[in-house]
Amino acid sequence: MFSKATKTFLSEIDAGGELIPISSLNDCDKAQLLSVVAKKKRFWWWQKPKYLFSSCACFLGDVLTDEKPVKPVVVESEFVKYEGTSGDVLKANIDADVGTFHGNATGSGHVQTISTFGTLRKQEVDMYHLMKAVQNRKINLHHPFIKQLHGNKHDLLCIVKEKIITTQKCVISEHTQMEETFGGKLGIQAKKVKVSVAENGNFTKAENAVLEIPAPTAIAYAVVELLVKCDGQFEFCLLSEIQGGFEKESIKKHEHAEPLLSNTVSLFDWDMVDLSRNISMDGKAVPSSASLSAIKQDILEITKLFSVLQDLPEPLRGELYNGLFEILHDGQTVTQLQAVVEEICLEKRPSLTFLAELKSPEREWVQKILYLIGYDMPNQKLIQPYKKDLLSAVHILTSALEEMPDTALAILGACCKLHLLPALWALTNITSDEGLCSRTEPALADLIDRGTFQIAQSLFSLFNMRLELNEKSMSAVTSKDPSFLPHILYIAISGFHALKNNLKI
């Protein structure tokens, strides 16, 4: 719940910004200014990087050759001011300054997920003084933390330059809530997180309050990447277009601990399509005003692997589809499933804490999905015969789902329930280069109804795409600067369509 609360908060006030939500209460104490952080690039180009703290408290001064402490000059200021909650009805007014962003947002209704952490403060390092303090000092390339980063070409060294902290005690609760009804068709069910603050030290806990957060607690942070040269000299990457890393180009391949399979290689070595070539991590963002046909070409090589899903025996395919459908209402469960699948692909032994963080029945669904694709999670072992291509296909699908906001997951679930997947999948095959297709196309019949079209339109808008309908045609093109969002949506649609196609459910 803490992870969902911080993620939702940042999506409201810093979407697309440089702030990183803290996903675990255990990391709150680790998110200190100048703490060293590993930035791990993910396998697929649409995935956001992961940021991992050292298991022990480790700061910039600890990884320098002379090991002299570095004392930063810290600037503290008010970040966001929030006021106004009453029971389950919330009215809010937010003024926020985030980098170059300044905005004012208002909201009202039942338990809206707008900034409810109370008054927050920002602590940031004065980078000018920091650069002077570490001038001519070098990174110790033999430090254990640095050696592990240096051994994997996908990892970067960062330090925490800024963090956001609470100033009031907060209580986080989670409950299931019906979202808006589209065209009279159905209400969309999703799990929502509510964060309440204790005004003047007084707070009456609601019955479903389950997590109390003291002040001060770090809920988000920002990092600066380091560019480390072969001799240990380093530079701070102060411009967003300048990326960090280690200068050495020939890096010994990282050896994953505790391999599960002795006769296979990790996911990073898999030829994903007919063993003919590797899928690159260097995907290109979708341009503005692009047709869905162009998106199809971008992801064609990846979605070909979903034929593995479609070729599964119908009972197995149906169970796998139902399992994935059942967890769409809870983004945190999707995230945990993806983490386990990725660990298995990387030949690591997934930690049982992945399951411990889930409640029933979500835990049971995750265990069942893993068993269906060949992994016994409670006993932490592969089930023979092991099917690498099935695991790979599910990894692609869950990696796309993980990047989707909770609202989008809930609406995707509604599209599944209303049998809209065939029509949504067909759009990429029948739209012209201009993004147009006739509204009389038989494959689009399920979308023409006003209620179902509104649902599909809402889903597309969450991924920076415009879906429009007039008397003669349907139009589907990307909006301005859509990034990888259209890729993510159509990978998810293609995966679910492959599972659901022709199933009698």
Q: Does an H or E element contain 74, and which?
A: strand 74-81
pLDDT of 313 over the 90 cut: yes
- Write down the pLDDT at residue 395: 95
Q: Where are the domains of the chain?
A: 2-246, 286-505
**Where does the pLDDT of residue 183 fall: very low under 50, low under 70, confident under 90, or very high at 90 and above?**
low
Rounded to two decimals, the pTM is 0.80
pLDDT of 99 over the 80 cut: no
Candidates 363, 451, 366; CA nearest to 411 is: 451
The full DSSP string for 292-342 is HHHHHHHHHHHHGGGHHHHTS-HHHHHHHHHHHHHTTT-HHHHHHHHHHHH
Mean pLDDT taken over the chain: 80
- Write down the pLDDT at residue 439: 87
Average pLDDT over residues 287-310: 87
Chain segment 164-175, per-residue pLDDT in tens: 999 888 888 776
- Write down the pLDDT at residue 175: 67
- Write down the pLDDT at residue 157: 94
> Rounded to an integer, what distance in angstroms lies between the CA atom of residue 81 and that of residue 501?
49
More reliable by pLDDT, 185 or 197: 197
Looking at this protein, which amino acid is placed at residue 240? S
pLDDT of 367 over the 80 cut: yes
pLDDT of 109 over the 60 cut: no
- Write down the pLDDT at residue 396: 95
> Rounded to an integer, what distance in angstroms lies between the CA atom of residue 5 and that of residue 217?
13
Average pLDDT over residues 307-318: 93
